Chains A and B, each alone.
Chain A
Amino acid sequence: MNHIPMRMNAPSLRPQKLTRRAMAKQQTREKVLQAAREMFIERGYEGATIRDIARAAGMSTGAVFASFTDKPELFDAILSEDFAALFDPMRDAAATAPTAREALVAMFSAAYRAHTAQLPLIQAALAASWTRTPEAEQLRRESLRPLRALVMEVLERGVERGELTRRFDLRLVSDVLWDLYLAGYRPAAFEGLSVEIQTDRLADRIDLVLAGVTA
């Protein structure tokens, strides 16, 4: 698998030298993102208005709209950042694991760990994901693509090593695992589970699903 990870906000993509104007714009954008993150965590996606976000950032609503067209775009920018930040920890966790099963448990555990502080935001994102427009969700899916590819790679490697078979379509297996990982955020949010318990719960589910493709 020659998967080349898509890196978001990779430093090399940024212009080497910013003009003063561009720098001010960048600063505004970051200030808005920071304020929006706090507002979404505090009030949820529906509850946080652009007006609240502007006030928290200490600027006018017009200034917010200069950086982002609307609330969905702002929300997506934050989530994309958070999910892009999962790529390295997930890949590293998978790299050192001896088996496919352990790689999956380790990478999802790394994701849960990285998201602990952002749990309310993830919760808001998951709640919103059922009722947003297909276009907005398409964008969000794009930002998850590199992570989902990691899961698929682990399964492919498991087959190459003879641990797993293709008795079932690996895409099906990978999709179910991903959904179970996401589903794990709900009990985490409502029952305040620790990362360890979250991981153990998911590990049981991973075992159940992998049993169907174990060699």
Chain B
Amino acid sequence: MAGVRETQKQSTRRKVLEAARDLFNEIGYDETTIRAIAERAGVSVGSVFTTFASKADVLSQVMDDRVDALYSELDRVARHLRGSVVDRVSSVFAIHYDFECRRVKLFLAHVAASFSPTLEPSTIPFGRNARFKGMLVEMIRDGVSRGEVRQDCDHDLVLDTLMAAYAWNYRLAAQKGADAAHMTALMERQVALIFDGLRP
């Protein structure tokens, strides 16, 4: 009995997340209601609320599920990246831009929500992705050991600065409809600028 119920719950969860992901990207986060999500998913409004605390929680879960695909791709690629620390860090960001630009409105909603004054405790806002950060710190450490980056470089500071530059470049997508290639090119220059000041 419990097994059936659990399976049903999982199936509702999956349907809701898929419906929400598509609606957020098609019509926008603010314009999407829980009712519309339930309708598209073919479930009741009540059952959405038994699985999720709020619309923000749904968005957070959508993004969380989505990055699994991104990181299995990145884990595969990261080992094969060659070149300087600037090249490799830039490549990691390029892969992110490519991935997020497939559903750019969804991603913009995610960044926007991270500024929301009414953030639920269960919500993981943009910028708290441990895997993304871990991968970058690894590359910075590697840069130190290869003598490309200063020994005394503050990893957290560099990481935070890179992440802010990365996120803020999406304003070009929001304001001017810039594509992944455009943002990647800009990010490459920013990464070069930041690491230039970190040379030993």
Contacts and interface: CB of A to CB of B under 8 A. Distances in A.
Are A and B bound to each other? yes
A198 interface: no
Interface residues of A, number: 39
Nearest to B163: A183
B61 to A, nearest CB: 19
B194 A131 contact: no
Interface string B179-200: 0000000000110111111100
B93 interface: no
Contacts, number: 103
B116 A208 contact: no
B108 A126 contact: no
B45 interface: no
Contact of B29 (A131, A168, A205, A213): A131
B174 interface: yes
A211 B154 CA distance: 14
A129 B175 CA distance: 9
Interface in B144-200: 154, 157-158, 160-161, 164-165, 167-168, 170-171, 174-177, 189-190, 192-198
A205 B116 CA distance: 24
B118 to A, nearest CB: 7
Interface string B21-32: 000000011100
A181 to B, nearest CB: 10
A183 B127 CA distance: 11
A191 interface: no
A204 B157 contact: yes
Contact of B197 (A180, A189, A211): A211
A117 B164 CA distance: 24
A11 interface: no
A167 B157 contact: no
User: Which 7 A-B residue pairs are closest in the complex by CB-CB distance?
Assistant: A211-B197, A127-B115, A179-B168, A183-B164, A130-B112, A212-B196, A212-B197
10 contacts: A44-B116, A44-B117, A126-B115, A127-B112, A130-B111, A179-B168, A189-B115, A190-B119, A211-B196, A211-B198
Interface of B: 28-30, 105, 108-109, 111-119, 127, 154, 157-158, 160-161, 164-165, 167-168, 170-171, 174-177, 189-190, 192-198
Interface of A: 44, 46-47, 120, 123-124, 126-132, 134, 137-138, 141, 167-169, 172-173, 176, 179-180, 182-183, 186, 189-190, 204-205, 208-214
